[in-house]
Structure 1
Amino acid sequence: MMTLLMITAEKRLENGPPSVLRNLRASGRIPAVVYGLNAESLSVHVDDKELTRVARTGRSEMFKLKVEGMKDLSVIIKDFQKKSGKWNHVDFLQISESVPLRIAISIDYQGIAAGSKFGGVVQTLVTELEVEGLPAELPSIIEIDISHLEIGDKLVATDVKLPKGITLVPTTEELLLALVAAPRVALEGEEVEVEPEAINK
């Protein structure tokens, strides 16, 4: 059984004055809201350092949110806002560990395409891939090796090897992720002409 990270959260007033939120952030606490599972939203605040530690693992990875007086909540980071590089606000999504979750996960393209060594231009068209699986099995990132791509090759979503238990959302199966285009001149059939005057100079 995998070991889950945990964040301790404290409840806060949902509609407090702006000065309260400023004071929270100044003291290293980040305002947050918990949504999901047909429950009323819950306003909390969490420790900046704990949040950073969890966020490094990826937005799709499940962790536990410990709130005083409540059963531990299974959550993921649904959304967040930063200001000047610092946490400003976070939305947590409460999920069920036994119910598959549909979510977009960031793609990490790895390697240097073989075709680029012969002038091919690598184009990565998609930065996220929508998949479905149990929360505990979702990866933090999807690594895709493009080193085998030659000029003219294309990579679609169904070419990607996903972790066990993770499947593509049907609407994304034929999604074009990356390609290696021929050099522009060769692709367009352009020819470079040299003016006679240039030869005589």
Structure 2
Amino acid sequence: MTSKGNNVQLNAEIRDDFTRASRREIRQNGGLPAVVYGSDTESIPVSVNLKETTKLFHTGRSEVFDLNIKGSDSVPVLIKDVQKRDGKVVHVDFLHISMNKTVRVSVALDYQGTAKGTKTGGILQIQETELEVEGLPGNLPTSIELDVSDLDIGDKLTVADIELPSGITLSASGEEVLASIIIPRAVAAGTDTDDDASTEEVKSSVDQ
């Protein structure tokens, strides 16, 4: 994997053998079976270097890079899907894109800060770790940062709280909860017990 200008370059070779034995041999030699597909082009079976491809997983699936197919042209792609077996990556799908056409991809949510409510016994509960966004490939964020510092017990962070880059839209409802600060069950149960005890004491006082 190399860089040319601002674009990361990943080398690939076309596959012409689709047997299970062939795929196994590719993996044993440090490769990874893959497919390049797009709405306007036929699917192209390829193989890539596993180690070099794995590095791209850390930058997110909205990272555009050039796939240099041996004996063919270089094409701009996104990682569309990663297939695993027993915790190991065994196949990857690349989406051949046009820089002038919008695409929809999943982007990781990066929660930043320490929630205020966690300092008084609350727990940060995260409901979503990624969201689908839509926009031109060159405008796609690699992740979406969300600051949870001001969240107190009972507060919620929703899709409506997200500030998106210009030209990027979300498919999720603005009311969808991404994270919240909740009271631990044990604490909540203890509070209920105390309330019940107080009620019984009041009742006893009235009866007397």
TM over 0.5: yes
Structure 2 residue corresponding to 1:10, chosen from 13, 26, 31: 13
The alpha carbon displacement at 1:92 in A equals 0.7
Q: Which consecutive unaligned segments of at least 5 residues does structure 1 have?
A: 194-201
Give the corresponding residue for 2:178.
177
Q: Which consecutive unaligned segments of at least 5 residues does structure 2 have?
A: 198-208
1: CA distance between counterparts of 2:173 and 2:7? 30
Amino acid at match of 2:12: A
The alpha carbon displacement at 1:106 in A equals 1.5
The alpha carbon displacement at 1:83 in A equals 3.7
Count of aligned pairs: 192
Pair 1:186–1:83, CA change in 2 (3 A): closer
In structure 2, the residue corresponding to 1:116 is in which secondary structure?
helix
Q: Deviations over 1:67-109 (max 9, x none)?
A: 1333211111111123454431111111111111112211122
Give the corresponding residue for 2:128.
126
Give the corresponding residue for 2:204.
none
1: CA distance between counterparts of 2:46 and 2:102? 26
In structure 2, the residue corresponding to 1:40 is in which secondary structure?
strand
Give the corresponding residue for 2:62.
60
Give the corresponding residue for 1:36.
38
Pair 1:90–1:186, CA change in 2 (3 A): closer
Query: Which structure shows the higher helix fraction?
Result: 2
In structure 2, the residue corresponding to 1:150 is in which secondary structure?
coil
Cα pair 2:111 2:148 within 8 Å, conserved = yes
Give the corresponding residue for 1:89.
91
Cα pair 1:130 1:172 within 8 Å, conserved = no
Give the corresponding residue for 1:117.
119
Structure 2 residue corresponding to 1:168, chosen from 156, 167, 170: 170
Q: Deviations over 1:161-198 (max 9, x none)?
A: 223332222x43221111112454458951245xxxxx
Cα pair 1:5 1:54 within 8 Å, conserved = no
1: CA distance between counterparts of 2:8 and 2:128? 29
TM-score (norm 2): 0.82
Cα pair 1:31 1:45 within 8 Å, conserved = yes
The alpha carbon displacement at 1:37 in A equals 2.4
> Which structure has the larger Rg?
2
Amino acid at match of 2:30: G
2: CA distance between counterparts of 1:186 and 1:78? 43
Percent identity over the alignment is 46
Cα pair 1:97 1:135 within 8 Å, conserved = yes
2:148 aligned with 1:149: no
2: CA distance between counterparts of 1:68 and 1:126? 39
TM-score (norm 1): 0.85
